[in-house]
Homo-oligomer: A and B are copies of this chain.
Amino acid sequence: MSNRILASDIGQGVVFITSGGTSIPIDPVRSLENFSTGVRGARLAEYFLKANWNVIFLHRSSSARPFRHRLDIEMSPEKFVIVQEDYIKSKDRLLEIQFDTLEDYFGELEKYSKVLENSIASRKMILLAAAVSDFTTASKSSKIDSSEGFSVIELDKVAKALPSVTFSWAPSVPVFSFKLETEEEKIEPKAIKYFDQGVKGVIGNVLSSRRWKVSLIMKDKPTVNMEIDAVNSVIEIEDLLVSRLISVL
């Protein structure tokens, strides 16, 4: 399947999207999680597929997946068929890979960054939408007894993978990263720091307004703010964002 996805004769380009949050196991039933529903990534994948791109979708096993996240028990059978047809039309151009832990994530990130670097596709892009933990901890192999207890969880810092993607694994591919903050004024100063790490652009968003408002921050270009009507919009913000990303390549 991977070969077919990366063949030159199908699609307008190839995008590698990471989506969802990582899990750091504490024991077999407890973990430290980074929040992400994966809806952003799933929708980005759909709009790239609609634009006739091929998509490698690296996602947390439990997070939203393209088309599937639109299913609902209360939808009409006619609507079910429409969503299913959209999926069937696209599935030959969609390669879905799952991760849970940091180790899974980094392994697949390296693999598919290199796949993209070596692809003969004329248009390529990497979108790092996954929420990846900055910290890790040692996991116990069996469930910790609550009566034994543990009063602290000790954390170690995780080395950033971003420079490996941009400088080592996929140096010829434009890489875009995402910056989610709870305060808007933190986004731009933080985004700028990524340019030194080789990213082409940063998609900034605030947790509370992320479904209707995003900014595309690029080096030496004015920041583009995109916004839709939070309540009445018939389009999704990811539709605008994908068009914009394709146009700045």
Contacts and interface: CB of A to CB of B under 8 A. Distances in A.
Interface string A131-144: 10111000001110
Contacts of A30: 32-35, 133
Interface in A19-74: 23, 26, 28-37, 62, 67-68, 71-73
A87 B84 CA distance: 20
A152 interface: yes
A247 interface: no
Interface string A164-205: 000000000000000011110000000000000000000000
A83 B142 CA distance: 37
Contacts of A143: 180-182, 207
Identical chains bound together, number: 2
A9 interface: no
Contacts of A249: none
Interface string A71-110: 1110001001101100100000000000000000000000
Nearest to A147: B134
Contacts of A73: 67-68, 71, 83-84, 87
A32 B29 contact: no
B154 A149 contact: no
A202 to B, nearest CB: 15
